[in-house]
Amino acid sequence: MAGTATPIFPQTVKNYVAQILNADASNVKTLVTGAANGSKIEAITVASTDTSARDVQLVITISSVVYVLTTVSIPASSGSINSAPAIDILRNAQWPGLSYDANGNKILYVASGAVLGIKSLATVTSGKEIDCLAVGGDF
């Protein structure tokens, strides 16, 4: 994309999803693949039906190299029962070094060809799941 003196905004609103199941063990699940001109992620929410707390990692793959971005604890049943809210990954204290948009909200840019993934560090309980939703857009 050529440089410009005018602001550039995402052109296509996207909801990216990934689901981690027992069969996935601790393998990385693709959440976002950067679009041709890149993607902007404005929120990442994780919910779990697992009755055990799980640590999840967000990773980014660039040129076949996997980089760990952060590890966040997902409490048991987060987002699936009223007393345990879903976890907002971008605003979590475990990930303080993110960029901010003009409104002061944390954001994450995913470059063209880069792949943002998520994985559980321990296998999810059989019959349970961890669901992840990223909201943003493609440039």
Using the predicted structure, report yes or no on whether residue 8 has a pLDDT greater than 80: no
- Domain boundaries along the sequence of the chain: 12-138
CA atoms within 13 A on the CB side of 127: 1
Using the predicted structure, report yes or no on whether residue 7 has a pLDDT greater than 80: no
**In the chain, pLDDT over 70 holds for what percent of residues?**
95
pLDDT in tens, 36-52: 999 999 999 999 999 99
Q: Nearest CA to 137 among 85, 101, 94? A: 101
Using the predicted structure, report yes or no on whether residue 104 has a pLDDT greater than 60: yes
Higher pLDDT, 123 or 95: 123
- In the three-class reduction of DSSP (H, G, I as helix; E, B as strand; rest coil), residue 20 is classed as strand
Q: Residues 124-131: what's their mean pLDDT?
A: 97
pTM above 0.95, yes or no: no
Q: Whole-number mean pLDDT of the chain? A: 92
Instruction: Pick 12-138's CATH classification: 3.30.70.920, 3.40.50.2000, 2.60.120.340, 3.40.50.1220.
Output: 2.60.120.340
- In the three-class reduction of DSSP (H, G, I as helix; E, B as strand; rest coil), residue 23 is classed as helix
The answer to whether the beta carbons of residues 72 and 94 sit under 8 Å apart is yes
Order of strands across the sheet that contains 29-33: 29-33, 115-120, 54-62, 65-74
Residue 3 is predicted with a pLDDT of 64
